[in-house]
Amino acid sequence: MISRDLVIIGGGPAGLAAAVAAYDAGLKDILLIERDYCLGGVLNQCIHAGFGLHTFKEELTGPEYAQRYIDMVLERGIEYKTDCMVISVSPEKIVQITNKDDGIFEVQAKAIILAMGCRERTRGSLNIPGTRPAGVFTAGTAQRLVNIEGYLPGKQVVCLGSGDIGLIMARRMTLEGAKVLCVAEVQEKSPGLKRNIIQCLDDFGIPLLLRHNVINIYGENHITGVDVAEINENFQPIPGTTVHYECDCLLLSTGLIPENELTMGLGAEMDPITKGPVVDEKFMTTVPGVFAAGNVQAVHGLADDVSVHAEIAGRAAAEYIGGGRQ
Amino acid sequence: MKKMEMTCIGCPNGCDITLTAEDGKIIEVFGNKCPKGIEFAENEFFHPMRTFTGSMDVIGSTEGAHTVSCRTQKEISKADMLAVAAEIKKYKIKLPVKVGDVLIENVCGTEVDIVATKNVH
C-alpha cells in the first residue's frame, strides 16, 4: 500500500489552501486528490469577479483566484492526482481511491484533510408539486453548463431562491441572451449578498419577488411553465396571488449542504447546525488526525474565508503529524 | 439638491451610501466604510461602471475544454455590458491561452481589452 503523511481530499479552494499551508508548516509528504480533470474545484465555473478582496487585496474572478493557489501548489512541487474518486476513508486513515488508469487503490495516511466542498439542494428536497420534466436545474449545474460546457440550458428562465449562485446565474443567463422572468424567494430577505442583488438583478431589471414560491411545475417532456404565488408566514401559498410564467428553464438556488458521504462513512460525529462534522478550533473532527476544511465543514459565504480556515486546518495537520499526537 | 441612495458593490460589505448633489456637482458622499465607496458613488452618479465577465468558445483544446473564461481588464460602462456579451460570442479562441492573455483588444470601442482568466490548453 502507498503511504503519505497527509492526504487531502478535494482540490478546490479548501484543499489547495490546506496543501500550501501544511507544506509551509514543514510537511512535505502530501498527496492532493481531485475528482475533476484539473485543480480548482467550483472556482473554475465561478467566472464572475468578487474573489480575493481579503486574501490578495484585489478583485479576481474564480478561475484567477484558483490559479494563484494552483501556482503555489506547483511551485512547491506538492504531489496531486486528478480524475480520482475517493470511495471511502477509514478511521485508520486508509483512503480508498479509484481512477481510470489504476483501478482501485489505497493510500495509508498519517493525517487526512477532508475538503470535498458542498452540494446544492435539489428539487427533490423542496417538494415542489407538478410534473417532472427536463429543464429544472440547480443554479450550480446551470453554471457549469454555461461556463464550462458552453451550453445554454434555457431561454425563458424562472429562478427559485436568491442565494448568490442564483443571483449570479440570473445575470449570466441574461448576458448569454436568455430572458430571466423573475427570481422568487421564500424568505422576507434574500440570503444573497446585497452587491449581487444590485449588479445581477437591478442592473438588468430582473424582479426579485420576496415571500414567493414556485407552487407548480408544468410540462410533459420539457418544462413549459411554473406557477409562482405569494406565501404567508407559514410558507403556505396565499389564494388569489398565483401568477403563471411560461418558461423553458427553472433554476434552483435554495441552499448548500456540506458533502458528507465520506465524512459520515468515516464515523465522524456530525453537527446538526452546520450539517458538517463537529470540529475543534483547529478543524479536527472527532476522528483523531482527520480534519475538515472549507465548505465540507460548514458552508462559507466567501471563498476567501474558506482559504483562511483551510490554512488553519493545514497547519494543524502538520502539527498533528510533527508532534506525534495520537 | 438631489439625493441618491445606493449600495456599494465594491466588496461583500455592501455599504449603504447616500450621495448628495446640486447642479450636477457632488456635495457629499456618506455611509461608505472605505475610499472605494466614494469612487463607486461618483461613478454611479455620473457614469455607472461594471466589470464584465463571461466565457468564450475555444478550438483545439488538448484537455477537452470547450470554453475559456474571460473578463474586461478594467471596468466598462454599465450600458455596454450586453453589447460586449454579444460581441464575444462571435469569436473562437485559438489555444493555448494563459491568465491575462488579451483575447479581444478594445472590445466594442470601450478602450478596454478582454483578457483570459484561466489557463486553457
Which residues does residue A213 pair with via DSSP β-bridges, in sequence order?
A229
CA angle A123, A128, A130 (to 5 degrees): 110
Which residues of chain A lie closer than 8 angstroms to B54, CB-CB?
A: 47, 172, 175-176
Residue A326 in this model has a pLDDT that exceeds 80: no
- Please answer yes or no on whether B53 and A61 come within 8 Å at the CB atom: yes
**Closest-CA residue in chain B for A66?**
B118
Residue A324 in this model has a pLDDT that exceeds 60: no
> For residue range A163-181, what is the model confidence (pLDDT) as tens digits?
999 999 999 999 999 999 9
> For residue range B32-83, what is the model confidence (pLDDT) as tens digits?
999 999 999 999 999 999 999 999 999 999 999 999 999 999 999 999 999 9
Q: Band the pLDDT of A45: cuts 50, 70, 90.
A: very high
The interface pTM score, or ipTM, of the predicted complex is: 0.94
Nearest to B9 among A44, A60, A195 (CB): A195
Q: Say how many Å lie between the first and final Cα of chain B, rounded.
A: 55
CATH 3.50.50.60 for the A2-119+256-325 domain, yes or no: yes
Exposed/middle/buried for residue A321 (C-beta within 10 Å: 0-12, 13-18, 19+): buried
Give me the pLDDT at residue A323, please.
Answer: 61
- Please answer yes or no on whether B9 and A147 come within 8 Å at the CB atom: no
Exposed/middle/buried for residue B89 (C-beta within 10 Å: 0-12, 13-18, 19+): middle
Of A121, A135, A122, A120, the closest CA to residue A217 belongs to A135
- Arithmetic mean of pLDDT over chain A: 96
CB environment A202-239: b (16+ within 10 A), e (fewer): ebbebebbebbbbbbbbbeeebbbbbbbbbeeeeebee
Interface membership of A67 toward B (CB under 8 Å): yes
> CA-CA distance, A6 to A34, in Å (whole number)?
14
Domain A122-252 fold is FAD/NAD(P)-binding domain (3.50.50)
> For residue range A233-283, what is the model confidence (pLDDT) as tens digits?
999 999 999 999 999 999 999 999 999 999 999 999 999 999 999 999 999
Residue whose cell numbers read 472549507: A294
> For residue range A119-150, what is the model confidence (pLDDT) as tens digits?
999 998 898 999 999 999 999 999 999 999 99
Interface membership of A53 toward B (CB under 8 Å): yes
A:B CB pairs within 8 Å: 84
Domain ranges of chain A: 2-119+256-325, 122-252
> Do B7 and B15 form a contact (C-beta atoms < 8 A)?
yes
- Please answer yes or no on whether B119 and A67 come within 8 Å at the CB atom: yes
Fold agreement between A2-119+256-325 and A122-252: yes
> For residue range A60-95, what is the model confidence (pLDDT) as tens digits?
999 999 999 999 999 999 999 999 999 999 999 999
- Domains in chain B: ranges and CATH: 2-46 (2.20.25), 53-116 (3.10.530.10)
Does an H or E element contain A63, and which?
helix A62-75
- Please answer yes or no on whether B55 and A175 come within 8 Å at the CB atom: no
- Name the grid cell of A184: 422568487
Residue A325 in this model has a pLDDT that exceeds 60: no
Interface membership of B53 toward A (CB under 8 Å): yes
Counting residues of chain A whose pLDDT is more than 90, the rounded percentage is 97
**Full-model pTM:** 0.94
> CA-CA distance, B17 to B11, in Å (whole number)?
13
